[in-house]
Amino acid sequence: MRLIQHFIDGATVTETPARTGDVFDPSTGQVQAQVALGDSDLVARAVANAKAAQPAWAAMNPQRRARVMFRFKELIEANMDELAEMLSREHGKVIADSKGDIQRGLEVVEFMCGVPHLLKGEYTEGAGPGIDVYSMRQPLGVAAGITPFNFPAMIPLWMCAPAIACGNAFIIKPSERDPSVPVRLAELALEAGLPKGILNVVHGDKVVVDAILDHADVKAVSFVGSSDIAQYVYGRGASNGKRMQCMGGAKNHGIIMPDADLDQAVADIVGAAYGSAGERCMALPVVVPVGEETAERLRAKLIEAIADLRVGVPTDPDAHYGPVVTAQHKARIENYIQMAIDEGAELVVDGRGLSLQGHEEGYFLGPTLLDRVNPDMQSYKEEIFGPVLQILRAKTFEEAITYPTAHQYGNGVALFTRNGDFARKFASSIEVGMVGINVPIPVPVAYHSFGGWKRSGFGDLNQYGMDGVRFYTRTKTVTQRWPSGGAVLDQSFVIPTMS
């Protein structure tokens, strides 16, 4: 059986691993590969190689590092089909969605091709008598990324591209459920001219995560996953003096105003709720129609749109989405559906019990629609992370915006309206990190940054964009004076001022 190995110091690790994990094919339910699971010794080995390689990479001028990033971008584009097929085989996404996953990561690589400009510091001439002040951005050393199963290309690229472009070495710890794509990306980076040891991939479970968080030479860690784990990772890493950036779960809301273009809103909502089988932290699993008439019209159109959805294997070009990632995750989603019913929600469309001919053991779930959900329900409070859409009705705009604002998560939110006044008030007052106005999945473009509020994000700096540059560098400020001759200045025993 195929063994997915670690990638350290520019090469695949060859020794037989002490522990392995199963990698399943979500379409069949069968084990398709084994992944090597590391330990603290393996992490120490990866960090040592990264630490040894990093100074020479950091000393390379930014323009030469940018050329490697340009070549890396070209190689990802040239190998898009291979990467998408690999991703779909392990995750279960349809091929088109896998290509979107890769493309959104590629856009961050593209942004980091401008690293010479992004690393420029500031300069002040004449800050005092004969004194000039300037700042510079310098890499941290070795950084690491702990990435989730749902975006096995995009999120590793969100993390590693800013880190390595800024002159750091990087270690990716991908999800054990779909670990192949990050290894292939590391191989392509090496082919692009990245020195050995600058980008490494170490597979593993909590043992490897804790080893990364405890290693003194890992200076920064970026994480994406559930909020409980994000909080744990943030706390343990921060207590060890590391710079931490931890993104957690979400329960994104879409508020539907009576004046919204309902046909467009429904098309957007269905794609945002059920695309990638709902396994996105920026999915839209809750809609909040304002007013009963809006709610009834929305419900009728959603039922009609859901009936046209096709669930299939990743290679089916007509499928809108594929299976969920594991049998355990499928069971978890089904439990949440039953929980909502038991709590009093109305089951409008039931996606349980779906079976595809020839793929009866696959982890497939049809789209589920639940109405008359209320904010006291546990199924509303928690992240389901599956193809489940809940309708939470509101009487007024003011009531509607209280729901995303009061929720424990604050990742994304959307408002569907034709009214600019409502949109402006909404964007200004909502307590959520990423806001869409008639945009169902408001993931910012690569030259802005990604980050949620409340239990959706732990740490002060967001992912990619200029926040990514800030996260993976530290600022050094130099105050200098060059003597120009003449009398020696008197000694001073007070703090220097510019008075």
pLDDT band at residue 20, thresholds of 50, 70 and 90? very high
% of the chain beyond a pLDDT of 70: 98
% of the chain beyond a pLDDT of 90: 95
Please give the positions annotated as active site: 281
According to the model, what pLDDT value does residue 484 have? 74
Average pLDDT, the chain: 96
Q: Which of 314, 384, 304 is nearest to 349 (CA)?
A: 304
> What number is the average pLDDT over the span 363-377?
98
Q: Which of 401, 414, 380, 397 is nearest to 265 (CA)?
A: 414
Query: What is the spatial distance between Cα 39 and Cα 372, in angstroms, rounded to a whole number?
Result: 48
pLDDT digits (tens, 9 = 90+) for 195-212: 999 999 999 999 999 999
pLDDT band at residue 486, thresholds of 50, 70 and 90? low
**Contact residues for 291 (Cβ-Cβ < 8 A; gap 6+):** 258, 394, 395
Residue-range domains of the chain with CATH: 3-248+456-478 (3.40.605.10), 253-437 (3.40.309.10)
According to the model, what pLDDT value does residue 497 have? 72
pLDDT digits (tens, 9 = 90+) for 266-318: 999 999 999 999 999 999 999 999 999 999 999 999 999 999 999 999 999 99
According to the model, what pLDDT value does residue 129 have? 84
Is residue 46 classed exposed, middle or buried when 0-12, 13-18 and 19+ CB atoms within 10 A define those classes?
buried
pLDDT band at residue 498, thresholds of 50, 70 and 90? low
Q: Which of 161, 159, 199 is nearest to 183 (CA)?
A: 199
> What number is the average pLDDT over the span 476-485?
87
412 sits in which H/E element: strand 412-416
Residue 366, amino acid: G
482 has a pLDDT exceeding 90: no
> What number is the average pLDDT over the span 404-413?
97
Query: What is the spatial distance between Cα 398 and Cα 336, in angstroms, rounded to a whole number?
Result: 28
pLDDT band at residue 128, thresholds of 50, 70 and 90? confident
Query: What is the spatial distance between Cα 393 and Cα 400, in angstroms, rounded to a whole number?
Result: 8
According to the model, what pLDDT value does residue 494 have? 75
491 has a pLDDT exceeding 80: no
14 has a pLDDT exceeding 70: yes
* Token duo for residue 314: 């990743």
Residue 2, amino acid: R
414 has a pLDDT exceeding 70: yes
According to the model, what pLDDT value does residue 489 have? 67
pLDDT digits (tens, 9 = 90+) for 150-166: 999 999 999 999 999 99
pLDDT digits (tens, 9 = 90+) for 33-75: 999 999 999 999 999 999 999 999 999 999 999 999 999 999 9
Query: What is the spatial distance between Cα 280 and Cα 273, in angstroms, rounded to a whole number?
Result: 9
